[in-house]
């Protein structure tokens, strides 16, 4: 009987020890009732055990503080904790009593620190700190709330101005500005626009003859030069021959410039592929080398796709998307209609009255000219942003979706441009890629310096800007040409300021001031008054 009772006592002690270990292993965390803390076994390191002991003691302190346990209950908890330590020592999980004393000392220090931090005598200022809007800390802060405030204020102010304008002047929109009887009589320009596909067809025939080696390389180059030159001169002569509406002339010139850029890319790319195919053996051409990826093969289907695709750089194959998202296209079309209407409303309601009530910026009172330019800067900025969003984001993405065109990088974050050079590299990616591929790199390969190559690219851009504006207006005072060529010294100036101040905000503000506050309003005033003077003379 004694042996039986001793065995029962031993089994009871073992059971209590195992229950104690299980309770320690499964003791809930202070932050979550579902998480469990696993007690390491005898082979675990002492650091893990020390961490566990800290956690257990913290829970005991928090439990006693939160539940309002008195000192007697707290002493009972300490006795239980002492028994738990003895059990851990007996089981070999903590082999050094000094470690337990260190844990207790750390726990006491933590408890004292916590209680001291909540006292009135605790220091409230412990280290050096900067104000969030100070010059040293302002760029390390998030200004999302201030940005939201600016949007709210902008919407409120513009809403008030729109209501005030409508109450004072009424609705000034007239259909004659967009669709006039004169525009309907511009059938020669319409026929010229329909005849533009003749030039890509001629370029295709030239490449076919070159593929079968019916003509030599100099003849190929001469024929392509004739086709591309005719494709741009023919619309210019038609616009100058017939006194058409300005809007019709601008649309025709834009189409003609796009066709010219595509034809140059088509001829230049095929010329390069012919040269590569001649320098590569048949074995290399059949391999997976980069030269074999775009072998010289004239395809009418590739040309047709290129002429309608939202790109100016020809290549036989493009990255494609698997399907057309019809719902997405519908949503983008609705946005296109809305923002186009908004752009027309701003032009009719704000820009036209301001321009009509102004004087020539180069004549009359200088202060009046500055006042008109500043007053015109806000609506022209809105129209320019709407134009960018409608064309580069909505229309080009709609066209790319309908054609399953994969590369949709039509622009980059040009609004963050720190210099004028960055703006021209990011705001119109189709033209930028064309310039780099067919103007800049060929100039470098032919020995021209980098600066000369950049100037030549700006010169070509200035010529086409002048054609798109001066020819439809029948005004050849080279305002657009001068404005684009003026970008070259601005590139040098903004690069110098960026390198000197090392401040992105300064460069970005200079960019916005040059384009939106000064450049565009001045161009509109100059061309408008010259156009009115021309109409008065005729």
Statement to judge: residues 299 and 415 lie in one domain: yes
Residue 493 lies in a domain: yes
CB-based contacts of 493: which residues, under 8 Å, 6+ apart? 420
- Beta-bridged to residue 27, according to DSSP, are 37
CB-CB neighbours of 370 under 10 Å: 11
Q: Give the dihedral sign, CA 529/516/430/458.
A: positive
- Split into its structural domains, the chain has a count of 2
Domain boundary among 99, 117, 152: 99
Residue 194 lies in a domain: yes
Q: Grade residue 229 by pLDDT with cuts at 50, 70 and 90.
A: very high
Phi first, then psi: what are they for 289, rounded to 5°? -75, 160
The rounded Cα 180 to chain-centroid distance in angstroms is 38
In whole angstroms, what is the distance from residue 319 CA to residue 404 CA?
8
Between CA 414 and CA 419, with CA 415 as vertex, the angle to 5 degrees is 70
Most confident of 38-47, 57-66, 192-201, 499-508: 192-201
The pLDDT value recorded for residue 228 is: 94
* Widest CA span in the chain: 133
Statement to judge: residues 53 and 199 lie in one domain: no
Domain boundary among 78, 99, 120: 99
Which percentage of the chain shows pLDDT scores above 90?
29
| pTM metric for this prediction | 0.71
Statement to judge: residues 345 and 486 lie in one domain: yes
441-485 pLDDT per residue, tens: 999 999 899 989 999 999 999 999 999 988 888 888 888 898 889
User: What is the domain extent for residue 451?
Assistant: 180-537
Residue 118 lies in a domain: no
Statement to judge: residues 92 and 207 lie in one domain: no
268-289 pLDDT per residue, tens: 999 998 888 877 655 554 455 5
Residue 114 lies in a domain: no
Residue 169 lies in a domain: no
CA 70 to each of CA 15, 63, 113, 400: distance values in angstroms, whole numbers, following the listed order = 31, 11, 21, 75
Residue 167 lies in a domain: no
Q: What residues are annotated to the active site?
A: 465
Which percentage of the chain shows pLDDT scores above 70?
70
CB-CB neighbours of 487 under 10 Å: 21
- Measured in residues, the chain has a length of 538
The pLDDT value recorded for residue 183 is: 57
Residue 106 lies in a domain: no
Q: Looking at residue 27, what DSSP letter applies? A: E
Statement to judge: residues 248 and 355 lie in one domain: yes
Mean pLDDT score across all residues of the chain = 76
The pLDDT value recorded for residue 109 is: 61
Least confident range from 50-59, 84-93, 303-312, 518-527: namely: 50-59
Domain boundary among 53, 69, 99: 99
Q: Is the pLDDT of residue 21 over 70?
A: no
């Amino acid at each position: 009987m004694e042996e039986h009772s001793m065995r029962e006592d031993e089994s009871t002690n073992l059971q209590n020890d195992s229950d104690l270990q299980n309770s320690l292993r499964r003791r809930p965390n202070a932050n979550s009732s579902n998480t469990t803390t696993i007690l390491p076994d005898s082979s675990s390191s002492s650091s893990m055990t020390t961490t566990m002991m800290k956690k257990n003691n913290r829970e005991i302190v928090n439990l006693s503080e939160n539940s309002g346990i008195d000192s007697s209950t707290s002493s009972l908890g300490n006795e239980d904790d002492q028994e738990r330590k003895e059990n851990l020592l007996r089981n070999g999980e903590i082999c050094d009593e000094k470690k337990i004393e260190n844990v207790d000392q750390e726990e006491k220090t933590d408890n004292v620190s916590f209680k001291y931090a909540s006292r009135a005598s605790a220091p409230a200022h412990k280290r050096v700190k900067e104000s969030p809007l100070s010059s040293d800390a302002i760029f390390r802060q998030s200004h999302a709330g201030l940005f939201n405030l600016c949007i709210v204020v902008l919407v409120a102010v513009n809403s008030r101005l729109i209501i005030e304008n409508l109450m004072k002047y009424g609705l000034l929109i007239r259909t004659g500005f967009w669709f006039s009887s004169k525009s309907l009589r511009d059938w020669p320009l319409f026929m010229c626009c329909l005849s533009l596909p003749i030039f890509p067809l001629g370029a295709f025939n030239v490449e076919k003859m070159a593929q079968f080696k019916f003509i030599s390389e100099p003849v190929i180059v001469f024929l392509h030069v004739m086709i591309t030159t005719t494709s741009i001169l023919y619309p210019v002569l038609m616009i100058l021959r017939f006194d058409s509406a300005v809007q019709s002339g601008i649309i025709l010139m834009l189409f003609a410039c796009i066709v010219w850029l595509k034809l140059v890319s088509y001829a230049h790319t095929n010329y390069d592929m012919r040269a590569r195919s001649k320098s590569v053996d048949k074995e290399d051409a059949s391999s997976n080398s980069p030269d074999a990826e775009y072998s010289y093969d004239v395809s009418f289907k590739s040309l047709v796709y290129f002429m309608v695709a939202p790109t100016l750089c020809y290549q036989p194959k493009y990255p494609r998307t698997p399907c057309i998202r019809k719902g997405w296209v519908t949503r983008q079309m609705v946005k296109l209609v809305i923002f186009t209407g908004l752009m027309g409303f701003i032009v009719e309601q704000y820009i036209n009255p301001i321009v009509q009530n102004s004087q020539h910026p180069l004549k009359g009172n200088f202060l009046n000219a500055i006042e008109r330019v500043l007053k015109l800067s806000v609506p022209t900025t809105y129209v320019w942003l709407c134009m960018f969003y409608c064309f580069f984001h909505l229309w080009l993405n709609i066209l790319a979706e309908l054609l399953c065109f994969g590369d949709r990088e039509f622009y980059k974050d040009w609004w963050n441009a720190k210099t004028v050079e960055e703006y021209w590299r990011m705001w119109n990616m189709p033209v930028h890629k064309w310039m780099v591929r067919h103007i800049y790199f060929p100039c470098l390969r032919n020995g021209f310096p980098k600066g000369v190559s950049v100037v030549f690219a700006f010169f070509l851009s200035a010529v086409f800007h002048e054609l798109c504006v001066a020819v439809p207006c029948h005004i050849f005072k080279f305002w657009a040409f001068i404005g684009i060529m003026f970008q070259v010294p601005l590139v040098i100036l903004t690069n110098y300021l960026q390198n000197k101040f090392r401040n992105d905000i300064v460069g970005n503000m200079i960019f916005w001031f040059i384009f939106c506050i000064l450049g565009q309003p001045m161009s509109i005033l100059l061309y408008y008054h010259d156009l009115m003077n021309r109409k008065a003379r005729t």
